[in-house]
Structure 1
Amino acid sequence: MYAVVEINGKQYRAENGKNLLVDRLDAAPGESVVFEKVVLLAGENTAFGTPYVKGASVKATVNEEVKGDKVVVFKYMPKKHYRRTHGHRQQYTVLTVNEIVGA
């Protein structure tokens, strides 16, 4: 059984016991979080939400916060002596899915 859950405006596929890498959440490591915006429940009986499945939720535990790979942005204008280099590392939260509660 798996569920498609919406977290911070993005959709992720959640399965029991699996890890999810999501955009940074304001939660400390070891803290339990519950996501109630479940878009799809798949298993023996599939349930689609309009927009969300009523009574469904995903319970997870926060493992750690990590940084993604560095993305380098380079801007320039030819013949104008304009060059700018800028880097960015996105922060992520690693979650472990404990339970998928169905309707």
Structure 2
Amino acid sequence: MYAIVEVKGKQYKVEKGQDILVEYLGDDAKEAPEIKTLLLKKDDESVLVGTPYVDGVKVSSKIVEMMKGDKVVIGKHKRRKDYRRKTGHRHKYHKITIEDIAV
């Protein structure tokens, strides 16, 4: 059984017990909320497709850790002017584990 869920505007294909990286959920996120924006659920017998979301199906999850992505380096310069700037950024992510897909 798998489901396609939407978390923070991005869609993920998830199964029970799977770890996924989602956008940073905020500083006050101690536990992952129930994911109620389910777009599709498929099991052995049937397929539920939402318009746009499937009603009555929830995906429970828990936060495993907060992590940062790879560093993105930004540089700019102006020729012949001895002007150079270099800055960087590391995007934050939450790693969550899918515990259950419940109807």
| TM interval, short-chain normalised | 0.7 to 0.9
RMSD of aligned alpha carbons: 1.4
The equivalences for 1:7-86 within 5 A come to 7-26=7-26, 27-28=29-30, 31-44=31-44, 45-86=46-87
Residue in structure 1 matched with residue 96 of structure 2 by the alignment: 95
Task: Give the C-alpha shift of residue 32 in structure 1.
Answer: 4.7
> What SS does structure 1 have at the residue aligned with 2:97?
strand
Alpha-carbon contact 1:16-1:99 (below 8 Å) kept = yes
> What SS does structure 2 have at the residue aligned with 1:17?
coil
Which amino acid is the alignment partner of residue 48 of structure 1? V
Alpha-carbon contact 1:33-1:62 (below 8 Å) kept = no
TM-score (norm 1): 0.87
Task: Give the C-alpha shift of residue 86 in structure 1.
Answer: 1.3
Percent identical residues: 42
TM-score (norm 2): 0.87
Number of residue pairs matched by the alignment: 100
